[in-house]
Structure 1
Amino acid sequence: MDLFEHGGRDGRNIRCDFSANINPLGMPAGVLAALKDSLCRAVRYPEADSLSLREAIAGDWETKAENVVCTNGASELIYAAVRALQPAAGLLPAPTFSEYERAFLSAGCPVRYYPLKRDNGFRADEEFLAFLEKQEAGSLLFLCNPNNPTGSCTEPSLMERIVKLTAEKGIWLAVDEAFLAFSGEYRQRSMRRYFRDYGNLLILNAFTKLYAMPGLRLGYGICENREVIRRILLQLPAWNVSIPAQAAGLAALKEKTYVEETVAYVAREQAFLREGLVKVPRLVYRVYPPMANYIFLEGVSGLDRLLADKGIAIRSCENYRQLRTGDYRIAVRSRTENEALLRALMEEEAAWQKI
């Protein structure tokens, strides 16, 4: 597999796609209605700097629009931040989302890795602070929280020490919270309680996963250091966010009940999947505690191919740094799809028992 390959399978024989981590409730009705209404306005250029959307996001965060940047997906923000900050080095835990590394490499930036430990559930620990102590000022650390693909969260007490240490060392800290709303512990774990006090902190988020709109491409960043936002904006083309995407974002911010329903639904289906996965021990060896809308597991080699033959796609994670053949990620989907996945696993388990 390519190091930078992603999930999301569109093969003709795939009927259930667990390889992409999108909200199983689908796009909110209010967002869909706003999208349809926006199409007639697509004959004009969109707001060049997404000001209305930035103001709405700023209102939600109780800050100013000047502290917000909107991008064509969070991926555009990742690349723009690297170009804007021109870091002395890129700092990454491994495994993590591969686009961070790709952004560093595209800018000719050296990358240093901190290997997360399997026996610790791939969570950052005290030794991570020792790793940061050795890094030079002007470096840029990306932390995905919850991490992709392992679903592990860094403990809030450790995150507090990380933001303090990076500020003291003059290290930029970018925390990606694209999946955090699914955890049910957003307020306890989000870095939004720190952003006003630390000018080195950039918080990344996306509408993509939570509101089931990956095809629209909409992300945003928050930083109290307006010079950082100004430098990122200089890396972006005018009209980088379309009229439909801006309209969808404005509508999504009003979907408070939908978010609450999502958290409850994902929690129920996570528990349902985990209960079923432990019943197929010949295929699934270990299931890691999830903090997102996906579950990371260790299983038999070739499990993804066995399921693909049944029209079900899961994400093989062997192309991530520090991971190996037999590591997989499965998204939490609808009850019907989750039942189909578990039924397929049970059938394979039964077939293995006869061998």
Structure 2
Amino acid sequence: MSEKNIQQDRPAFHGSDIEQIEQYYKIPAESIIKFGANVNPLGLSATLKKDLAEHLDVITSYPDRDYKELRSAIADYCGVKMEHVVTGNGSTELISLLISERNARHAMVIGPTYSEYERELSLTGGRISEYNLSEEHDFHLDIDDFAKALADDVDFVILCNPNNPTSSAMKKDELRSLLELCNSRDIFVMIDETYVEFAPDVSEITAMPLAATYDNLMILRGVSKFYAAPGLRLGYGVTSNQAFLDTLKKHQNPWSLNSLGAYAGVRMLQDKDFIQKTRSLILSERERILNELNSFRYAKAYPAYANFILVKILRDDLTSFDIFDQAIRHGMMIRDCSSFEGLPGEYIRFCIMLPEDNTRLLHCLAKSLA
């Protein structure tokens, strides 16, 4: 039996499996640096923490059923119309609602990507196809090739932009071409922009400016990653398809977002100091990390638009689990990408943390890959 076959019998951990990792490796969870979670290393904004502590009494009242203040703040933040904004209990709720309401006959998912899309699609009973991005093109979508792969009955396309786990991204002109193609074939497009705020130039890759023009589009975002608030469960979507918005709201539970989430959301999106600090950290560290990785003999790092980097292992005697195991034994949890469908080969993914932690990880990876 080959070494790589032996590795397949070992456990596969996801980014949130900290308790399982603690049990398996006998390492205290609080001592592990979570390079697999893709959450802003600065944590929750100190300004927001203070503000929330002083306004906890908002939970004694129901939130505004229409979330007008929050939707107005989102509209200003994204440069869209307030009437095109819907809020939800995390982007997960909106993904679920969108997929169930579209009830696609044949959905195509652009991968390799987040597995939750296909899980939700499987509940609707329709056909699911995958179009996997090519490693030869650094996981960048080729529109012409994608068009050829679209079956005649496809009526729903899902894209994560920037994509997880590849950190690749489509630019606005390419997104426009994709939407034109799909519009001409009566295909609705869902674009998940969970990681867009980490991009070097957000305006270059966000689909928000296209929302008013294309009513076959819904864009989803949340505050879990950039604002380091996954427990708040605040997500939002933008679409100019009013009929679909009305249907979505009709099937959504009232007050699906609690009062604290509605209050915090407004303040988060207006916290310019926190936004600037986060972007400054991520942009400078991403460049530094990529530069160092590019000097490694046995690693290929791909262009990154999100706050994480995908790396291909170029040593035949090393697997992604080997590198994961090496890192976790030094108190650093990265992502072994072997569980991602459509990603053949040996890959790891890790997010950008504080500079000193990033340096520790690079030194660890260098032992096997430099």
- The TM-score, its normalising length taken from structure 2, stands at 0.87
> Any idea what SS the aligned residue of 1:174 has?
strand
Give the aligned CA root-mean-square deviation in angstroms. Answer: 2.3
Q: Mean Cα displacement is larger for which, 316-325 or 98-107?
A: 316-325
Contact 2:80 2:208 in 1 (8 A): no
Amino acid at match of 1:334: L
> Any idea what SS the aligned residue of 1:163 has?
helix
Deviations 1:245-283 (A, max 9, x none): 1111110111223223322211111122223334553xx
Where in structure 2 are there 5+ consecutive unaligned residues?
1-7, 23-27
User: 1:287 matched to which residue of 2?
Assistant: 301
User: 1:130 matched to which residue of 2?
Assistant: 148
**How big is the shift at 1:285?**
2.0
Contact 1:23 1:333 in 2 (8 A): yes
User: 1:19 matched to which residue of 2?
Assistant: 36
Where in structure 1 are there 5+ consecutive unaligned residues?
none
Deviations 1:128-175 (A, max 9, x none): 12223x3336x2111111111000012433211111111111100111
Partners of 1:131 and 1:50 in 2: CA distance: 41
- The TM-score, its normalising length taken from structure 1, stands at 0.90
- Aligned residue pairs, count: 345
Amino acid at match of 2:353: R
User: 2:60 matched to which residue of 1?
Assistant: 43
Deviations 1:276-312 (A, max 9, x none): 334553xx52111111100000123121011111111
Amino acid at match of 2:309: I
**How big is the shift at 1:327?**
1.0
Which aligned segments of 4 or more residues in structure 1 are displaced greater than 6 angstroms? none
Contact 1:30 1:251 in 2 (8 A): no
Aligned-pair identity in percent equals 28
Partners of 2:78 and 2:228 in 1: CA distance: 22
**How big is the shift at 1:61?**
4.1
Contact 2:171 2:206 in 1 (8 A): no
Amino acid at match of 1:131: A
Contact 2:79 2:208 in 1 (8 A): no
Partners of 2:288 and 2:16 in 1: CA distance: 22
Aligned residue among 258, 271, 275 for 2:291: 275
Aligned residue among 293, 306, 312 for 1:298: 312
Partners of 1:87 and 1:37 in 2: CA distance: 45
Aligned residue among 119, 122, 130 for 1:102: 119
> Any idea what SS the aligned residue of 1:93 has?
strand
Contact 1:32 1:248 in 2 (8 A): no
**How big is the shift at 1:336?**
1.8
User: 2:135 matched to which residue of 1?
Assistant: 118
